[in-house]
Structure 1
Amino acid sequence: MRLFVAVFPDEAVNAAADEALAGLDPTRWRPVARERRHVTLRFHPDADPDEVAADLRHRLVAADRPTLRCGGAGMFGSALWLGVRPDDGASWERLLAAVGADPAEHVAHLTVARGRGPALEALQGHHGPSWSPADMVLVASGTPYRVLARFPLVGGHEGVGPGR
């Protein structure tokens, strides 16, 4: 089964992304539905969901709850994304390593649209609100996505709303 481990943005982040996308040519760009927006921490192209969930439960005991914010933009093929930056880089790297991702190779991003044509200039200066996801999720790819398991992230951050 195709799986991924991710965190979802909150309402404020989605609203800021929608506002940033409003300046794009709608004949060339199609926004990604809010329920499909996520920051992938690790992709599992063919894995047993029970095994992955058990491994994550073991590895993520007391994992730090990161504070993230979107800034800048980029493209992978036809995918337009907003960059995601952690407030605490060392804590974020530990979280990536705990899920089995290589922190040196990971490009944290939130895919917000698909299409072709000029777009980066309009989003390059984007700076979204911060958010702190309450949990990390194991998701089965497909339409719709199916959340198979949730893993709480510990530690609160004053003034930052929880993720979903």
Structure 2
Amino acid sequence: MQQFKILLFCFLMVPMGIMAQETEFSKDVKDYLESNGTMKQYEYAYGQLMQMMESRYPKSDVNLKSWTYLEEHEVKALEDIKSRLVPIYKAHFSHEDIKQMAAFYKTEAGVLLNTDRSKMTQVHKDELNSFYNTIVGQKIINNREALTKEISMASEDWSRELYGISMGLLSNG
């Protein structure tokens, strides 16, 4: 009976521990996507799409509900692209790699890399070079081509779906 309880415990609890670890990994990938500036690019893309749609379908009483939906849908759409990118990063990097990558982008050098490279001092540039000379930095460099291709495909799918939803809603009022 005791063996059955131990087996039942392992059967029920081990998968939950694995799922919790995966969830933490996903959370850390999403944190990395925020800290490295990726999500700012998607926010910009969403805004550009809305501007384009507004030039074709100006806000009116007829399409107000559709516009309201699209404006309120931005957070969900951005969460969707993050979720699409998580498996790509998981395929190329370990959880520890992601933590190190996010930590770098939270440093002053990492922040300046995303916000204003012209303000980077030689010290910041040296920090950047040091980071890219680490094992994780080399992994980024070595995976750059595959990452770019996979991220581009995910981004194109996301953009195409978002465009289709926007067109469908706004063209029908």
Q: Which structure has more helix as a fraction of its residues?
A: 2
Q: Mark yes or no: TM-score above 0.5.
A: no
Q: TM-score, normalised by structure 2?
A: 0.29
Q: TM-score, normalised by structure 1?
A: 0.30
Q: Which structure has more strand as a fraction of its residues?
A: 1
